[in-house]
C-alpha cells in the first residue's frame, strides 16, 4: 500500500477557471483596493476588497437587493439596477474615505454599453476615483434610466395587451408598471445622492 501524500495542484483556482493570476498580480501591484462586481441571474453583487498578506478582506460589500429598501420596484439585474447599485456602493465608499479603486470584473466577458459599464458609470457619478477610459463605453442615458423599457412597454400595451401581460407579468404582479420605471429610477437616485 502506498504511503505518499496526494499531489497538490499549483494554481488550483486557475485550473477551475476562478482566478486569472496574471491580472490579479497586476492589480495587487497597484496597491489599490479592488472593486469586484459579479452579475448573477438574480442580482448584482459588489465588494470593495483590500489585500493583506494573510488574505483578502472585504471593506464594503452589498448587492442590488439593497435597492428594495430605497423603493426600487423593478428587476435587480437590469442596466438601471446595475447603475443604481454602482451609485450606492460608490457613495458608501466615498463616505468610508476610500480614495481610489481598481475595477475587477473577474473572468466574466464584458460588453461596451452593458451592465458592467452601467455599474461603472454609477461609480463614476458617485465621485469615487476609478480609471475607466473613454466615455463611449457607458450606456446611453436612455438605457441607464430605463426609458427604452418604458417606451417598449407603452408600444406593446397599445398593440398587443396579451403579450404585454406576458412580457411584463412579474412587474404587474408586484404592482410596478413598466411605463413608470424612469420615474422610480429618478426617485431612488435622489434618495441615494440625498
**Per-domain residue ranges of the chain:** 17-144
Which CATH number is 17-144 given? 3.30.420.100
- Mean pLDDT, rounded, of the chain: 91
Contacts of 78 (CB under 8 A, 6+ apart): 115, 146, 149
- Share of residues in the chain with pLDDT > 70 (%): 99
**pTM of the entire predicted model:** 0.88
Q: Is 134 exposed, middle or buried (0-12, 13-18, 19+ CB in 10 A)?
A: exposed
Question: What was the pLDDT predicted at 1?
Answer: 66
E strand or H helix at 172: helix 169-173
DSSP 37: E
* pLDDT one-digit tens code per residue, 158-194: 999 999 999 999 999 999 999 999 999 999 999 999 8
* pLDDT one-digit tens code per residue, 96-106: 998 899 998 88
CA distance 156 to 168: 10
Question: What was the pLDDT predicted at 67?
Answer: 96
Residue 14 has pLDDT above 90, yes or no: no
Amino acid at each position: 500500500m502506498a504511503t505518499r501524500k496526494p499531489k497538490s495542484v499549483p494554481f488550483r483556482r486557475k485550473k477551475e477557471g476562478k482566478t486569472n493570476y496574471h491580472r490579479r498580480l497586476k492589480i495587487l501591484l497597484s496597491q489599490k483596493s479592488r472593486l469586484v462586481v459579479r452579475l448573477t441571474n438574480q442580482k448584482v453583487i459588489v465588494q470593495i476588497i483590500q489585500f493583506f498578506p494573510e488574505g483578502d478582506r472585504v471593506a464594503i460589500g452589498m448587492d442590488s437587493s439593497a435597492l428594495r429598501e430605497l423603493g426600487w420596484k423593478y428587476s435587480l439585474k437590469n442596466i438601471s439596477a446595475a447603475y443604481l447599485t454602482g451609485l450606492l456602493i460608490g457613495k458608501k465608499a466615498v463616505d468610508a474615505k476610500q480614495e481610489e479603486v481598481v475595477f475587477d470584473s473577474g473572468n466574466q466577458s464584458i460588453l461596451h454599453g452593458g451592465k458592467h459599464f452601467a455599474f461603472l458609470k454609477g461609480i463614476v457619478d458617485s465621485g469615487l476615483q476609478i480609471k475607466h477610459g473613454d466615455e463611449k463605453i457607458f450606456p446611453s442615458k436612455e438605457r441607464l434610466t430605463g426609458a427604452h423599457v418604458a417606451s417598449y412597454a407603452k408600444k406593446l400595451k397599445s398593440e398587443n395587451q396579451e403579450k404585454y401581460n406576458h412580457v411584463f407579468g412579474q412587474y404587474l404582479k408586484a404592482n410596478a408598471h413598466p411605463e413608470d420605471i424612469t420615474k422610480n429610477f429618478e426617485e431612488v437616485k435622489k434618495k441615494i445622492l440625498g
